[in-house]
Amino acid sequence: MPHISIVIPVYNSQENLKTCLDSILKQSFADFEVIMIDDGSKDYSGKICDKYSKIDERFFAYHFENSGVATARNRGMFLAKGDWITFIDSDDWIDPNYLNSMVNLLKKNPNSKCAINTKVSVNDNDYYMEWKFDSDKRTLCDDDVRLLISNKMPTSMWCYMFKKECLDGILVDPDIHFFEDVDFLLRIFQRGYECVLNAEGGYHYRQGSYTHTKLTWKTVTAFTMVDKQASRGMCAELCDYLEEKMILNVATVGAVDGDYDKEINKVLKKRARDYIRKKSNRKKNIRNEIIIRIIAFSPKLYYFLSRVKNRDKK
């Protein structure tokens, strides 16, 4: 039984997939398996997966009809045999000591159920995403849920390594297509596990997702996340904060996008209006409240103001 299972959802990533898989072959820590889930790729990605499964017996290729990244990750978690599970996106790559650094931390902290990578290289060392904390270990609580919602803790599944048993009963929700990682992580955070924080980095994230620059019906599934979190019992104060952040994030995509569906604007407008009408004891950010009120009046006005502001910064 391998110590670590690496789950890689693969879809039309032939240009970068070899770089990803080669970086795993170069790992100084060798006790792992790679679960490559080919999600109905139309390019040569599936054949590349098959090639690596023949090169190295630790690599396993599975082919399915296209069902989306959520289902691909869920299939990978189901197939994983390791004591620990981590995720790598097929267009990203890792340094040779990446897995070893996570394993060493967990050996020193045997009660920890999760390792969190708090430093990520973006676009091949152009700059770093870094999250700083006052300790190298923490027990997850509501304060960390707030940090996750506000992007002050890593919000991507590939920043984490989980004890497999911690994921029992938790799947990536296939109904959520925007911030689905956050929804997944919120449910884990609410279980209150002890986690160690890895500041060594070693994960290289290739930025440039088309999905997050187009305002589509998939974008507004962020509100589905809010509703489902509420139905699962998230406290009202945190749910209110999550909704605030999702309204702002969806509106930000709308401001970037120049071609969007008017019906989507109606959904965003109604969501902002309903949010304003809610009674809440939470101390709110005045700037965010003003923005949401503008969105509630007219999303198009907010898009215009946002574009003007960003143009003036250039």
Residues 118-170 have pLDDT tens digits of 999 998 767 889 999 988 999 999 999 999 999 999 999 999 999 999 999 99
Mean pLDDT of all residues in the chain? 93
Outline which parts of the chain fall under CATH 3.90.550.10: 4-205
Of residues 45 and 310, which shows the higher confidence score?
45
What is the predicted pLDDT for the residue at 207? 80
User: Left if phi > 0, otherwise alpha if psi is -120 to 50, otherwise beta: which for 179?
Assistant: left
Q: Does position 210 have pLDDT exceeding 70, yes or no?
A: no
Query: In the numeric block, which tokens belong to residue 17?
Result: 């997939």
What does DSSP say about strands 93-94 and 32-39: parallel, antiparallel, or unpaired?
unpaired
Q: Dump pLDDT digits (tens) for 219-243.
A: 999 999 999 999 999 999 999 999 9
Which residue spans within the chain are E strands per DSSP? Answer: 4-10, 32-39, 59-64, 84-87, 93-94, 114-117, 119-122, 127-130, 137-139, 160-163, 194-198, 203-205
What is the predicted pLDDT for the residue at 283? 81
What is the predicted pLDDT for the residue at 26? 98
Sign of the alpha-carbon torsion through 281, 284, 289, 291: negative
What is the predicted pLDDT for the residue at 91? 94
Query: In the numeric block, which tokens belong to residue 15?
Result: 């240009």
pLDDT category, 22, cuts 50, 70, 90? very high
**Residue with structure tokens 């390019």?**
43
Q: Dump pLDDT digits (tens) for 59-80.
A: 999 999 999 999 999 999 999 9
Please give the average per-residue pLDDT across 287-307, as a whole number: 94
Q: Does position 52 have pLDDT exceeding 50, yes or no?
A: yes
Residue 250's alpha-carbon distances to 171, 268, 269, 287, 294, in angstroms, are 23, 8, 11, 17, 14
What is the predicted pLDDT for the residue at 76? 98
pLDDT category, 212, cuts 50, 70, 90? low
What is the predicted pLDDT for the residue at 308? 81
Q: Does position 209 have pLDDT exceeding 80, yes or no?
A: no
HEC string of 115-127? EEECEEEECCCCE
| Residue percentage of the chain with pLDDT more than 90 | 85
pLDDT category, 313, cuts 50, 70, 90? low
What is the predicted pLDDT for the residue at 314? 52
Q: Dump pLDDT digits (tens) for 248-262.
A: 999 999 998 877 788
Please give the average per-residue pLDDT across 24-42, as a whole number: 98
Domain 4-205 has CATH 3.90.550.10: yes
Q: Dump pLDDT digits (tens) for 84-117.
A: 999 999 999 999 999 999 999 999 999 999 999 9
Q: Where are the alpha helices (DSSP H) in 190-314?
A: 222-231, 236-256, 262-277, 286-297, 299-313
| Residue percentage of the chain with pLDDT more than 70 | 96
Q: What are phi and psi of 142, to 5 degrees?
A: -60, -30
Least confident of 1-5, 50-54, 99-103, 270-274: 1-5
